[in-house]
Amino acid sequence: MTNTNSENKELLKAKLTESLLPFILKTAVVFFFIAATIMTVVPKYRETERNKLILLSFIQNPYVLSELSYIEERGGNNAKAMVYLEAAIGLLEMNGATEKALLKYKNKLDTLKNSI
């Protein structure tokens, strides 16, 4: 006794429905528990000066730091602009930049200091 093509399709559809629904429910429950655990264990990120400086230390490109400084300066926040520029200068000094390269950044830093 062989099943016809339409019977085979119906059987396959029934099997998929039977196996797919429990999979979706289990996945949703597991996802919920993982999300709940992460929300409980990981503290809420607070934007503090300490956290900003930690994140800033991962930026290893003086150009990016100087651009961030420029953005803050345009926004009128010269204190933040100075922090970014000081980080750029420190990075340049750490990597042995020439005095000529440092001069551009130091002049800009002096301008920012005078504007506060």
* pTM: predicted TM-score of the whole model, two decimal places: 0.56
d(CA 102, CA 67): 15
Question: Residue 2 pLDDT more than 70?
Answer: no
DSSP assignment string, 59-96: ---HHHHHHHHHHHHHTT-HHHHHHHHHHHHHHHHHTT
pLDDT tens for residues 52-100? 776 777 778 888 899 989 999 999 999 999 999 999 999 999 989 899 9
Residue 3 or 44, more confident: 44
- DSSP label of 97: -
Token pair in block for residue 17: 């429905």
List pLDDT tens digits, range 13-64.
777 777 777 778 888 888 888 888 777 776 666 667 776 776 777 778 888 8
For residue 44, the model assigns a pLDDT of 65
Its domain, for residue 93, covers 49-115
Please indicate, yes or no, whether residues 111 and 54 belong to a single structural domain of this protein. yes
Answer yes or no: do 62 and 97 share one domain: yes
Number of domains making up the chain? 2
> Do residues 29 and 54 share a domain?
no
Both 18 and 57 in a single domain? no
Residues 6 or more apart from 51 whose CB is under 8 A from it?
A: 45
